[in-house]
Structure 1
Amino acid sequence: MNIWVDADACPVVIKEILFKAAERTKIQTTLVANHHIKIPPSRVIHFMQVSSGFDIADDEIVKRVEKGDLVITSDIPLADEVITKFAVALSPRGELFTKENIKSRLNIRDFMDTMRASGMQSGGPPPLSQSDRQTFANHLDTILMRYQKSKR
């Protein structure tokens, strides 16, 4: 298992949780972004900078992700592609994307895009709450424990 992070919009607090988990479990974790992101010195935490452009980081993650990997993203189309490759997708808010819920999430996203294109102001998502952080950490721990049990 590798952990891939769509790091351009990933909140700092979520990155910090991921850094601790990567060090604790020794799972290779790669942050992918089109601008420099500071990472701690580590044998298991890496940074991959890609060129600027629409979906360049997403495309790089899709190209490299393998079955059983974990991808951290709030990008619904990226999560859909990851699930198609039999990897796991988790949002920074702790929402686990699955083959059962991803199509409805894509439909909602597309509907909201249409509404914004027609001039409706949605205001964007609320700030990351303590509950969101806890939900993310809990899902991450569950996924990592399941992976470590499967290695035995």
Structure 2
Amino acid sequence: MISYSLLQTRDSILAVSDKMHVFLRAIVPAAQNNINTRFIILDKSRSPASASGKSCIALAADETAAVHIQLWGDECDAFEAGDIVKLANGIFSYVRNSGLLLRAGKRGKMEKMGEFTVAFVETPNVSEIQWNPDPENPKRYIQNGVVSAHSRIFPPLP
């Protein structure tokens, strides 16, 4: 049985399980691998292999928000649209030329949990939010505005 506690954020109160899996709506940019969450992959784009290896960007969502996910190496082949994924010790930060991305990083781990059986929303997309350092605590970020309500990498179908 999972018990729930409440996590107070600036904009809302979100339930968090006792395993500290946070909803995507509650994540903020940080230089720490401390995000434990689950989501469904909605779409995936291929990026050409670079000097640092193969990577791709995916659109993922849960019942509260959507986010852009960066997949590296074998992760690009391991996950497809419709997969439900658990992320442990993930990081949400700026990646050069790609914007804000959620990824496993060196210390995190992504694991497939199932397929096609989770409720989700495509807006807001937390990767499309502009974040600024908190004037009261420069190590934290606060929302400054919304760049786009939906993903600009994976635009909604007409």
Select the structure that is richer in helix.
1
Normalised by the size of structure 2, how large is the TM-score?
0.28
